[in-house]
Amino acid sequence: MYQSPMMSQSTSPIADKPSISAQQTITFNDQLNILSITHHHGDHKQRNYHAAAHQFYYRNPDMRLLDLVSLLLITRGPHDVGAISLIRHPQKISIYYTKKEPCNQQEREYIDRVLKRALASRDEKTKAACRTDILHNVIQNCTLKINRRLTKICHRLGHLNRAVGHYRIVSSPYIMDIETSLRKFIPGYYFPKEETIKQFLTRIFDGMRADVGKPDVNFGTLIRLSWAISATPNIDLILDEVLLYRIRKLGDYELAIRILVAEVSDLKGPKKHCTTIEEVLSLESFSISLSVSPEQILKTWAKDRNVESVFTQDHFRLVFPQMKSSTESSVNLTEKQMIVSSVHCECALALYLLKKYWCINNQKKRYLKIQLGVSKPGCLMCRRFIDVLMVESPGVAIIVTSFNDKIPVGWKVPNASSTLVKNTIHNQVSNLVDTVFERVLSTCCELKQNDFVSASVISERYSGR
């Protein structure tokens, strides 16, 4: 199994000193806070496209289905996250889903209605009607998210319109092939024969900018057009990369519905009629106050190792230049913070399915594969947690499409986790905090021993890490 460099234990000469977790006043959330404000996420020049935006990205059709359908679970604002999994049995299929916050009755009815409507489709005629019905339900229940994606498209359109030309639609040797392909996806009354592809795209984009913010926006048409544009081969040769990415994100709703109906309607026999749908209840998030400020953690760690004389805030900010100073950044080392603590939905769903199926499969000596579709890439702590679950459960593979390298403050280990899993995660976080502070300490010592080394040289050296 892949082990990231950050997961390895420290090999510093002072690594055998007591861990910071030994300090009773410093909690797990305090340690995550330090990691969150010091963790360097890199430049990210290449945009991390969500895999659901690409029709042919997955070799595994189940993962493509799950990642796309997870988008249909998002009925609230931008911070809403959903996860879904599908377990195949000999005579039936079980669908499990969970969200960051427990669903209310209206949301449960909506999700059940969408999934059962997809199961009811049979032939091509009923599939088309099914897709229309599901899209109508999605628009009614996911308006906040859909409107947000449309707004992001229009922000980019405004930027391109002010920059150069009109939306920066460029010419290409493949322009005729692209236009021919696009016409296959779009009805003739939307794309008349007398229009060029540039005229068509300009008209559509002008319409989007005019519609944004209006109460009577025809989201169905915009979603279908976005899907058709993003699905056209080589369309990236004539459209701005960021704009195309945002168009794909809006078109994902149509793509999700098409794949859901196609995959589910192909089920035969008892599996189609015995499909079960179950919500895995999640814990509601709650606000807590961090017990100490980041500055107090710095002082505690330095005092524990008798290095407080060379361990200062200035050195801390020197090693992590992205923090700058309290006046230039939102990071204030001297103040305690209020944070929102929550169990991430992919962790909760993975643990629930592991407990439900692993013992059964283990007794029968069968391999267990748990596939999770998540509406947003998982964080670094979710990846750690899932890795630990797999290490502690032989014969289990838990598959999630993508993770990022963020360390969120307030991330919580699910309560149902075993003591061994909890201790492993806590020890890993403690080791990471030690690594952060040891890095600062080595810089302090280097500056003290080599007065001729300028602060700018040290800052440049560490800024690329």
Distance separating alpha carbons of residues 153 and 169, to the nearest angstrom: 15
Q: Is 279 helix (H, G, I), strand (E, B) or coil?
A: strand
Distance separating alpha carbons of residues 255 and 58, to the nearest angstrom: 14
Distance separating alpha carbons of residues 34 and 440, to the nearest angstrom: 13
pLDDT, residue 29, reads 87
The pLDDT > 90 percentage for the chain reads 45
Hey, where are the domains in the chain?
5-38+293-335+418-463, 103-278
For residue 100, what is the DSSP state? Answer: S
Average of pLDDT values for 248-256? 95
pLDDT, residue 167, reads 84
Average of pLDDT values for 421-428? 95
pLDDT digits (tens, 9 = 90+) for 313-328: 677 777 776 554 444 4
Say which residues have a Cβ less than 8 Å from residue 216's Cβ, sequence separation at least 6: none
Closest CA to 341 of 403, 297, 284, 280: 284
Half-sphere CA count of 230, side-chain side, radius 13 A: 28
pLDDT category at 5 given cuts 50, 70, 90 is very low
Distance separating alpha carbons of residues 443 and 44, to the nearest angstrom: 26
Distance separating alpha carbons of residues 326 and 140, to the nearest angstrom: 44
Tokens of 103: 């669903």
Partners of residue 340 on adjacent β-strands: 287
Higher pLDDT, 207 or 283: 207
pLDDT, residue 384, reads 95
pLDDT at 61 over 90: no
Q: What mean pLDDT value characterizes the chain? A: 80
* Helix 28-38 and helix 419-449, axial crossing angle in degrees, nearest 10: 50
Q: What angle do CA 39, 45, 51 make, to 5 degrees?
A: 90
Range in 86-90, 212-216, 299-303 with the lowest mean pLDDT: 299-303
pLDDT, residue 40, reads 54
State the pTM of this model: 0.82
Higher pLDDT, 357 or 265: 357
Average of pLDDT values for 57-69? 80
pLDDT, residue 338, reads 81
235-249, 275-289, 351-365: range with highest mean pLDDT: 235-249
pLDDT, residue 332, reads 58
Closest CA to 347 of 404, 392, 386, 400: 386
pLDDT, residue 34, reads 83
Tokens 């430049």 belong to 43
Higher pLDDT, 33 or 306: 33
Higher pLDDT, 53 or 295: 295
Tokens of 110: 């909506």
pLDDT, residue 81, reads 94
pLDDT category at 43 given cuts 50, 70, 90 is very low
Output the DSSP codes for 428-444: HHHHHHHHHHHHHHHHH
pLDDT at 461 over 90: no
Average of pLDDT values for 137-163? 92
Distance separating alpha carbons of residues 288 and 340, to the nearest angstrom: 6
Output the DSSP codes for 43-95: ---S----GGG-TT--S-HHHHHHHHHHHTT--SSTT--EEEEEEE-SS-EEE
pLDDT, residue 111, reads 96
Higher pLDDT, 363 or 445: 445
pLDDT, residue 235, reads 94
Distance separating alpha carbons of residues 78 and 354, to the nearest angstrom: 29
Average of pLDDT values for 55-80? 81
Tokens of 66: 């799950």
Could you list the beta-strand ranges (E) of 81-145: 82-88, 93-99
Partners of residue 463 on adjacent β-strands: none
Q: Are 397 and 390 in contact (CB under 8 A)?
A: yes
Q: Are 344 and 379 in contact (CB under 8 A)?
A: yes
Phi and psi for 342 in degrees, rounded to 5? Answer: -155, 155
Q: Are 239 and 169 in contact (CB under 8 A)?
A: yes
pLDDT at 203 over 60: yes
Return the number of other C-beta atoms located less than 10 Å from residue 249's C-beta. 22
Distance separating alpha carbons of residues 375 and 372, to the nearest angstrom: 10
Tokens of 15: 């690594």
pLDDT category at 30 given cuts 50, 70, 90 is confident
pLDDT category at 202 given cuts 50, 70, 90 is very high
pLDDT, residue 39, reads 72
Q: For residue 314, give the H/E element and its range.
A: helix 313-319
pLDDT at 379 over 70: yes
Say which residues have a Cβ less than 8 Å from residue 361's Cβ, sequence separation at least 6: 367, 368, 395
pLDDT, residue 365, reads 64
